[in-house]
Structure 1
Amino acid sequence: MANSNIILTGEERTFGENEIIVSKTDLKGKITYANKVFLEVAGYTLPEVMGKPHNMIRHPDMPRCVFKLLWDTMTQKKELFAYVMNRCKNGDHYWVLAHVTPSFDADGNVIGYHSNRRVPKRATLDNIIIPLYAQLLQIEQSHPSKKEGMEASTQYLLNVLNEKGVAYDEFILSI
């Protein structure tokens, strides 16, 4: 569970365009590996993150429907690209373009998940992702239950994609 005791600062952190944030989790989303860039940007030490749920860095302004889409895709043994705003230990935040993929054993069984994250294009964030995510979050928060809100925002996102005539991954990779 994400740490809701962290006070948000509104300050955005960045990392180098040639740096990659890498983490791996087990099947339940608990961190089994975090690289130096992940630790530096998020502001944690390796002992603080190992074995903890990856959603410890979930920012409350991230629409839940994006994570639903991520997990739905992972259960189909497929990869996904997504823009994500994460929360740092001190309450700062940082944006990433995440590539999340299942990890397989020699028999083709999913044994965990692997994510590489890069710095996203600022114009894409400002002109497309931030306004879209604000709309999705507003839809989620306008419903009496979290489940109803997530379902409504998921449907809104699917409608946007239908209007554009693209699947989610095509949309993300085209912007």
Structure 2
Amino acid sequence: MSKPLSLTGVERFFDKDDVIVSKTDTKGRITYANRTFLQVAGFREADILGQPHSIIRHPHMPRAVFKLLWDAIEAGGEIFGYVINRAKNGDHYWVYAHVTPSFDSAGRIIGYHSNRRVPNRAVIDDVIVPLYEIVLAEEARHKNGKEQLAAGYKLLIDQVSSHGLPYDELIAKLTVRAPLEATAA
């Protein structure tokens, strides 16, 4: 088993013109990482290729959000979302991610491609962090992983639905405009 995650509490930033890019196979193992990914995450290419993309998973990221992501891309769709990642040394960084499946000439999914950009800070501070905190708290209230995921996912979907928009539309609206209160009218 891998060693426990260490967290520094230090946030890393990248330039608004930079794009973090990675590709994975259908199992989520990294097959490509661009220079920006390597610099921000603090890995060497040789250390990251073949590793599960979850190597950068931050413990403050709800499992329910990843379920939403995987459900969308495994069905052949795309998804946008806000993600907090963990750098190799325990620092963290926020991204606005766009994840899509990659297809072969016969239309079969052969992997996944993710582009991450600098996120809207107001959305993170005013909407995403509070939402993720309540989803994480709900996940933590349950004993086993299956129950944690089911409860967190239900709460996430209920919270999103309470704004009268599907997840993708809500995220897009938040990203274009800022705080949720302005979009809920």
d(CA) in 2 for partners of 1:92, 1:159: 31
Range moving further from structure 2, 145-154 or 25-34? 145-154
CA offset at residue 28 of structure 1?
0.4
Aligned counterpart, 1:92: 91
Q: Which structure 2 residues correspond to residues 78-117 of structure 1 after superposition, within 5 A? A: 78-117=77-116
Contact 1:6–1:90, Cα closer than 8 Å, also in 2: no
d(CA) in 2 for partners of 1:29, 1:160: 28
Cα RMSD for the two superposed structures: 1.1
d(CA) in 2 for partners of 1:161, 1:87: 25
Gap regions ≥5 residues in structure 2: 175-185
TM-score by length of 1: 0.96
Contact 1:13–1:92, Cα closer than 8 Å, also in 2: yes
1:94 aligned partner, one-letter code: Y
CA offset at residue 116 of structure 1?
0.1
Three-state SS of the structure 1 residue aligned to 2:162 is helix
Q: Deviations over 1:42-97 (max 9, x none)?
A: 00000000011010000011000000111111121000001100000000000000
d(CA) in 1 for partners of 2:119, 2:67: 21
d(CA) in 1 for partners of 2:17, 2:84: 19
Three-state SS of the structure 2 residue aligned to 1:95 is strand
d(CA) in 1 for partners of 2:118, 2:3: 25
d(CA) in 1 for partners of 2:155, 2:111: 30
CA offset at residue 19 of structure 1?
0.3
Sequence identity percentage: 54
Aligned counterpart, 2:10: 11
Contact 1:58–1:86, Cα closer than 8 Å, also in 2: yes
Q: Which structure 2 residues correspond to residues 51-130 of structure 1 after superposition, within 5 A? A: 51-130=50-129
Three-state SS of the structure 2 residue aligned to 1:12 is coil
Aligned counterpart, 2:177: none
Three-state SS of the structure 2 residue aligned to 1:112 is strand
Q: Deviations over 1:93-148 (max 9, x none)?
A: 00000000000011111000000000101111000000100110000001111211
Contact 1:6–1:89, Cα closer than 8 Å, also in 2: no
d(CA) in 2 for partners of 1:164, 1:97: 20
Three-state SS of the structure 2 residue aligned to 1:116 is strand
d(CA) in 2 for partners of 1:170, 1:15: 26
Contact 1:102–1:110, Cα closer than 8 Å, also in 2: yes
